Amino acid sequence: MNRLVHFSDSVCSEQYLDKFIMSEEAGHMMGLYGDPSDQRSLSLDDTSSTEESPDQTRLSLETTNDAVPYIGQRFPNHDAAYEFYAEFAKGCGFSIRRHRTEGKAGVGKGLTRRYFVCHRAGNTPVKAANDSKPQRNRKSSRCGCQAYMRISKTTDLGVPEWRVTGFMNHHNHELLEPNQVRFLPAYRSISDADRSRILMFAKTGISVQQMMRLMELEKGVEPGYLPFTEKDVRNLLQSFRKVDPEDESIDLLRMCRNIKEKDPNFKYDFSLDSNNRLENIAWSYASSIQSYDIFGDAVVFDTTHRLTAFDMPLGIWVGVNNYGMPCFFGCVLLREETLRSYSWALKVFLAFMNGKAPQTVLTDQNMCLKEAINLEMPTTKHALCIWLVVAKYPSWFNAVLGERYNEWKAEFNRLYNLESVEDFELGWRDMVNSFGLHTNRHIASLFALRSLWALPYLRSHFFAGMTTTGHSKSINAFIQRFLSAQSRLAHFVEQVAVTVDFKDQTGEQQTMQQNLQNICLKTGAPMEAHAATVLTPFAFSKLQEQLVLAAHYASFQMEDGFLVRHHTKLEGGRKVYWVPREGIVSCSCHQFEFSGILCRHALRVLSTGNCFQIPERYLPHRWRRISTPATKALQNTQSDHTERVQLLQSMVSTLVTESAKSRERLDIATENVSILLSRIREQPICSQGFELKGRRCINR
């Protein structure tokens, strides 16, 4: 709980009062300042004589936390007084900065008096508007706080020293808890050793988030407990940037034009600011646009990365193909993370994709991006990537919850996976009460946005399985392949292109490997055999899981449909509606709407109703065995090969369907296919699995 200040805790106040009474000058210090001549110092918002800025604040950890300033306290120099007060401030929940000075070093008596104030003292002066420079509307933390400590220089027996002649610890704002005060700029620092380590990490191309996790592991500290933040690391890397941004922009545009000349289907667009400098740029490749045409129903727009060397926000559009593998749709580099920038990015992306908006889009928790999606994609369902949100939990909750963090995380995961909105909201209230999170701003924000991330609110929308941890890891690994902290901008476009090409090629290999795998039918049901010939191995494995589970459920016909529940349950269940003549089936669990795979409840009803094939509409085109866009991109050099592979796939599908109709047929097919495979394996193959011009084939 935050503390409203008036001698922030009993220890501070008792020690202060004891020393206050003992002081010889106590009688003269009942006012805010020691004498009338100091009354002008009460207005701390006058910055005309401020000697140092908040960014120059230093901290020494040599003093003890329970030391409290008192009138008459002596220090050998003003730096020692500053460090003493800084340590006291940290213990109470605020930081300090140097403010007013009297006298000047080397002139007359030199410095004679110094004021140290709370970091929230004074008020920020209004800056004059400058149309030639973009303005950052950052909210100031200054609120006119009057807490201060004044020291004056005295000379006794020819020895100069500094004494405390004024002190007030009344604050007009809340003080921070010990686990929060460390995030104040004054108490954050990057040591020389850590700086070297960060720069070494940057050269390897890993993200700032990964740098933070590695350093936490190296130092053996809990997530969120390093003496610096991700923003500090980004600022450090930005300070080491050596290239000229304007030269980089020219090279980047030249590179895009060169790619366009070689490949007319390559698309890019950019915007310039009022000074004719590059502001934003987006691009997409021909194979990416073809992929989007088929698999662009559910899209992730990841804006959590930056080109570290340039401190530029990077947006990446990705999805999942019919074989469950990530596919790249497009990329954008932005100068700023504003509503205007995100709106531009979304408009350009839609233009690349011939105006086709996705059904759903997953993003990070970004209010400007949320508003931009509402404006530019009004028919698209917007949701938050749960894995991007969960990645922030250690820094949000680890310090707050302490030993109960893992317990809270388990309860959060349980709530996240619930089906009922009512159960979720009741469970959330209990969770907040149990863990004492009533005033936590992150919890409040998550609950306010619950309809954007909690599954009970999203199950009626299609997300192609991208809300699962497995897909999040594969998508993140894909993105990390072309993130390079020190890459030049022009080289970055090439780097992305190479990665996309490599992903297309490896994707083709993995697709062929999946198709050549022996499909094991587990239920023997005609529905299973039929689905195996239509769906990709990836999608079929998901459906097969549901078919196996369906055997454990009982169905009861009701007036308005069917009630389906596990055979061990006496209550509850799911409502299934089935219209046989129209081939329509739906379930209250909404799994088909959410993933494109029929649920165990609907499959149980179909099976009970003597349905031997899953209706066509419940075998979605995006999960079927179709030629992938990467294959289409290679058709100029291997069209004959592709057509023959597709013909073979069709023949194999027919073979499986016909063979599954009787045991005798299955025996004949198995025997002859085994002989055929043996003969095929004796034939030479090349590294890509087929012969292309310029590639040498080998025997394996």
Query: Percent of the chain scored above 90 by pLDDT?
Result: 38
Residue range 558-562: average pLDDT?
A: 90
As a whole number of angstroms, the distance between CA 559 and CA 7 comes to 70
Angle at 495 between CA 473 and CA 342, to 5 degrees: 70
Residue 181, pLDDT score? 82
Of 455, 350, 390, the residue nearest 209 (C-alpha): 390
80-89, 215-224, 514-523 — which is least confidently predicted?
A: 514-523
In single-letter form, the type of residue at position 369 comes to: L
Query: Higher model confidence: residue 403 or residue 514?
Result: 403
Return the SS3 of 112. Answer: coil
- pTM over 0.95, yes/no: no
55-59, 322-326, 544-548, 681-685 — which is least confidently predicted?
A: 55-59
Residue 128, pLDDT score? 64
As a whole number of angstroms, the distance between CA 152 and CA 49 comes to 17
Residue 515, pLDDT score? 59
Confidence band of 75 (pLDDT split at 50, 70, 90): very high
- Asked whether residue 566 carries a pLDDT value surpassing 90, the answer given is yes
Cβ atoms of residues 118 and 148 within 8 Å: yes
Question: What are phi and psi for residue 118, nearest 5 degrees?
Answer: -60, 145
> Which tokens hold the place of 130?
């400058």
Query: Higher model confidence: residue 688 or residue 125?
Result: 125
Q: For residue 274, count other CB atoms closer than 10 A to its CB.
A: 9
- Asked whether residue 645 carries a pLDDT value surpassing 50, the answer given is yes
Residue range 59-82: average pLDDT?
A: 72
Residue 376, pLDDT score? 96
- Asked whether residue 323 carries a pLDDT value surpassing 80, the answer given is yes
> Which tokens hold the place of 354?
């011939």
Query: Higher model confidence: residue 175 or residue 137?
Result: 175
Query: Higher model confidence: residue 534 or residue 1?
Result: 534
- Asked whether residue 643 carries a pLDDT value surpassing 50, the answer given is yes
Residue range 625-651: average pLDDT?
A: 56
Return the SS3 of 687. Answer: coil
> How confident is the prediction for the chain on average, in pLDDT?
78
Rg of the Cα atoms in the chain? 33
